[in-house]
Structure formats: C-alpha cells, structure tokens
Chains A and B, each alone.
Chain A
Amino acid sequence: MSEETKSFEPTIIGFTCNWCSYRAADMAGTARMKYAPNVRLIRLMCSGRLDPTFVFKAFANGADGVLVSGCHPGDCHYINQNYKMLRRFHLMKRVLAQMGIEPERIKLLWASAAEGAIFAEEVNKFVEQVRALGPLNWHPGNGAASTVHTPMSAEEVPA
C-alpha cells in the first residue's frame, strides 16, 4: 500500500436491515466493540428494500464503497425478501463492473441481531479492502472534466 492510500479514509455507505444487521451494529456499539468509523449506516426495514438506485447514487455522490447487509438466508423477517436482494446484488455487481467500479467496493454481509462481533470485524475488513483500492472520486462530466480539450492519439499527417 502506498503512503497515500494508507492515510486515505474511505467513505462507506452501509445499508442495514432493521431486524438484524442494524441491531448487530447497535449491539457492537452497546458492547463497546471498536470498529472503523468510516461506515455511515442507513437503516432500511429490510434488505429487500434496497433499490439499486441507492447504491448507484451513493457512488455517484462520492462514496468509495457500499455495504449491503441483511438477515441470513432463511431468516428474513418478511419471509424471503433477502433473497430478492441477493439476486439484485449479483446483477448490480455486474453492471457496476462494466461501469468501471471494482467489485471489491461493494460487499454483501449477512449478520443476525446477535452477531455484533462479526459485524464489527467484517466492517473493519471491508474498510481496509476499500482503503487499499484508493478513492473512487466519481466525477464524470462535471466542471473541468467536461471542458478539457481531448488529446488525439495519432500524429498529425500533412494534407
């Protein structure tokens, strides 16, 4: 890791489910377990509520990584919505890769309400993974980038 990447603090948006991973995070907090402060948690009622738009918007607006977490397969409070999220996650990852966003910038984590320690550990791992990739700093078409004069690759040939 370069010096620059070491000092880089990634911004990570974490989508958590009200019934499991949000409580796992809460439990990690009340048990005073320490984990990286880089994750900004957003509570959803269910991981199945995760519209891929949220993830695209997070990246477009400056997130370096996105964490999506929900109940273990079979444990969904709403029967099977976490499977819907699973399917979306797989497809979303393919689309993001085609957009040039490294698959390591997005993580899926199953964590029950009792798994505060696992949640904290996985968040730490993910933060290091994103830190190693460096900033994403998404800025297509904004300001200066859109008005530069395009360098042409080939040499000028006399007419």
Chain B
Amino acid sequence: MSKPKFAMYWAASCGGCEIAVLNIHEKILDVDANFEVVFWPVAMDAKYKDVEAMEDGSILLTLFNGGIRNDENEHIAKLLRKKSQILVAFGSCACEGCIPGLANFSPIQQVVDTAFSTVSTDNPENVRPQPSYDMPEGTIHIPTLYPVLRTLDQVVDVDYYMPGCPPESHQIAAVIDLVIQVLQGKAQLPPKGSVIGAGGSTVCDECKRKRNEKTIKEFGRIQLMHADPELCLLEQGIPCNGPATRSGCNARCPSAGAQCIGCYGPAEGVVDYGARLVSAFASVIDSNDPAEIDRILDGLVDPAGQFYRFNLAGSLLRAAKPAWKSGD
C-alpha cells in the first residue's frame, strides 16, 4: 500500500513555521516513514503544476502556514484545499494574520512605499513592483498584492487550527504522533474546527509568577524598568497579554522575564482577542476619575498594536479603515 501524502506550504509568512517543523529533530523521520511528502517548497523541488495535476482529495494532510497577502497565496490556498482531505491552518499567520497582518493598519500604498523607499533601501530610481511587465521575450508577472491580508479561513474552509508563532516543537511532535495513531486506527481525529497542538486555558494559567490583586496606577515599558522576577508582570504595570492568550507554550515568555505578547492567539471562548484585553487591562486600572484614567492609559503607547499584534486580520474588525478603504 502506498503511503498517505503530506504537503506543507508557506504563504505570507517568515519561514519560522518551517524551521519549527524541522526542529522536531528525529521525529521528522516518523513523518518520512509514515507519509509520502508530495509538496513542500522549503524542503523539496516541486512545481505548482504538479499539484494542479494531482487528483482532488489525494493529499491526506496539508499544513498551510502564512496569511493570504496576494493572488498567488489565494490561488495555492484554494488549490491545496481542493487537493487535501485535511487542511490545517498552521501557525499564527494562517490562523489569525500574525505580524504580516499588522499591515492591515495601513493603506496598501503606504505599505509598499515603506518597503521600497525607506532610508535603508537602495532604490535611487524609486522603482515599484509592477504586477505585469512587458519584455522583448513576452509579458512577465509577479503576484498582485491585496489591500488587506486575510487569514486562511477567510479564503477557504479550514479543518484544524494550530496556533503559535511558531507552534512549539513539542506540540508539533504531539500532533504528528496523533495523526500517525489515527492512520493506524489507534486514535480518532478531534472534531472539525478544533484548535490542535495547544492548551484549553490561558497563558496566565500556566504562568508560575506570583499573583495578588492587580491594581495599577501606571503602565510601564519592560525595557525601562527593573521588573520583579517573581511577581506577575501585569501587576507591575507591564502590559502582559497572558490573560487573553491561549495556553500551550508553558508560559515561555513570562518565565524568561518577558511579557506575553500573545502569539498563541485567543484563548478558548474568546471571540475578539483585543476586546478581551481591553477588558483585562481596563480592570486593573486603579482609578475612578476620567482624567486620571486617561493619564494612566497614556502609558500604553500603542494599545491597538499591543492588543492585535498577532490577531488583527483575524479580529472582528479585521483591518483599520485606511487599509480596507485603500482597496475601494
């Protein structure tokens, strides 16, 4: 019997998810032993037309990382959806937009200008990429950017979500184990739409720092303070996203002395990650006076960036108005 087929793809992402998969060490041999890898641009040479020629539903498992930034990303997302039985939104970009999704704060023209005319960019003629270009040999194309970045499930139907920036290697290994057990008939797949490879509660729940009642007169920036190594960071006025973030990383950042920035995405039951943090941060402010509340809030220099660092594209509002207006 031929082995079930496996694919992995990167759309708008940094490549960290691929590294995280390779970082499962010898477990990667289990992937090879149990699957035939048919498409994985970072690891092997394959062409889109090879995937196009495959039978629909012939790939058992596809791990798709990256958001949908341009028409190429969208084309491959739709293609892999058609060819795969199980499509996993793998990593924060595919699940909720992640860092590339932060571009959804700005009009697309500004995003392009920033990329092509910053001081560190050597572009004396102020060249901009053109979606198509006529050469003597014929017209050549590059993908067309969309005004906003979308998450994978805003474009195609998704079976499972695996959060994290990137997903922790031990979680990836556990998911691979599970799929192999399912193949051997020893386990069952979780219900469609489930979040896999992560915990069911919050980062705070896994965090070892000491907690008392949180009352804050001032927000501070961690790099400018001497934070108590034992005490909850939020209690010290350091914006920590633990209260809204899904567990699964063993509270890595707070354990290492840095605040949680939210890469595991919204905790179970949280509809809008940023809205949950608005609640969490507002509740610790120790004041009933509007003017003082405003003064304390001034300490949070970029609240939307803080609350939607990983989640803007996947939030209820999805993108700031100047960004989506830029496509009108």
Which stretch in A6-14, A28-36, A55-63, A113-121 binds the other chain? A55-63
**Nearest A residue (CB) for B70:** A150
Scoring A59, A95, A101 by chain B CB atoms within 10 A of each residue's CB, the highest score goes to A95
Within 8 A of B (CB), among A135-152: 138-141, 145-152
| A57 neighbours in B (Cβ, 8 Å) | 271-272, 316
Cα separation A98 to B145 with both chains bound (whole Å): 23
Q: Would B126 and A145 count as touching, CB distance under 8 A?
A: no
Supposing A53-B275, A56-B316, A141-B150 touch, asked if A87 and B285 sit within 8 A by C-beta, the answer is: yes
Q: Interface range on chain B: under 10, 10 to 19, 20 to 34, or 35 or more?
A: 35 or more
Is A73 at the interface (CB under 8 A from chain B)? yes
Partner of A91, one of B108, B287, B303, B327: B303
Cα separation A118 to B74 with both chains bound (whole Å): 52
| Nearest CB of B to A59, in Å | 7
| B272 neighbours in A (Cβ, 8 Å) | 52-53, 56-57
Is B164 at the interface (CB under 8 A from chain A)? no
| B135 neighbours in A (Cβ, 8 Å) | 159
Scoring B304, B318, B327 by chain A CB atoms within 10 A of each residue's CB, the highest score goes to B327
| B316 neighbours in A (Cβ, 8 Å) | 53, 56-57, 59-60
Partner of A140, one of B281, B282, B324: B324
| B125 neighbours in A (Cβ, 8 Å) | 157
| B127 neighbours in A (Cβ, 8 Å) | 154, 157
Which stretch in B30-38, B43-51, B87-95, B289-297 binds the other chain? B289-297
User: How many residues on chain A are close to B (CB under 8 Å)?
Assistant: 42
**Nearest B residue (CB) for A59:** B317
**Nearest B residue (CB) for A54:** B275
**B91-127 interface mask toward A, CB cutoff 8 Å, 1 = contact, 0 = none?**
0000000000000110011001100100000000111
Q: Would A98 and B320 count as touching, CB distance under 8 A?
A: yes
**Nearest B residue (CB) for A57:** B316
Is A3 at the interface (CB under 8 A from chain B)? no
| A55 neighbours in B (Cβ, 8 Å) | 275
| A146 neighbours in B (Cβ, 8 Å) | 146-148, 150, 327
Is B200 at the interface (CB under 8 A from chain A)? no
Q: Would A151 and B109 count as touching, CB distance under 8 A?
A: yes
**Nearest A residue (CB) for B287:** A87
| Nearest CB of B to A133, in Å | 12
Q: Would A148 and B147 count as touching, CB distance under 8 A?
A: yes
Is B185 at the interface (CB under 8 A from chain A)? no
**A55-86 interface mask toward B, CB cutoff 8 Å, 1 = contact, 0 = none?**
11101100000000000010000001001101
Q: Would A150 and B282 count as touching, CB distance under 8 A?
A: no
| B208 neighbours in A (Cβ, 8 Å) | none
**Nearest B residue (CB) for A94:** B303
Is B288 at the interface (CB under 8 A from chain A)? yes
**A77-110 interface mask toward B, CB cutoff 8 Å, 1 = contact, 0 = none?**
0001001101110111011001111000000000
29 A-B pairs with C-beta separation under 8 A: A55-B275, A57-B272, A59-B316, A59-B317, A87-B282, A90-B293, A90-B294, A91-B278, A91-B297, A92-B282, A94-B300, A94-B304, A95-B307, A98-B303, A101-B321, A139-B324, A141-B154, A145-B327, A148-B147, A148-B328, A150-B109, A150-B145, A150-B146, A150-B326, A151-B109, A153-B109, A153-B112, A153-B113, A154-B113
Having A88-B278, A159-B133, one finds 12 other A-B pairs with CB under 8 Å, namely A52-B278, A53-B275, A59-B316, A84-B282, A98-B320, A99-B320, A100-B320, A140-B104, A140-B319, A148-B146, A148-B328, A153-B109
List 6 tightest A-B contacts by C-beta distance, closest first.
A100-B321, A140-B324, A98-B304, A154-B128, A52-B275, A140-B319
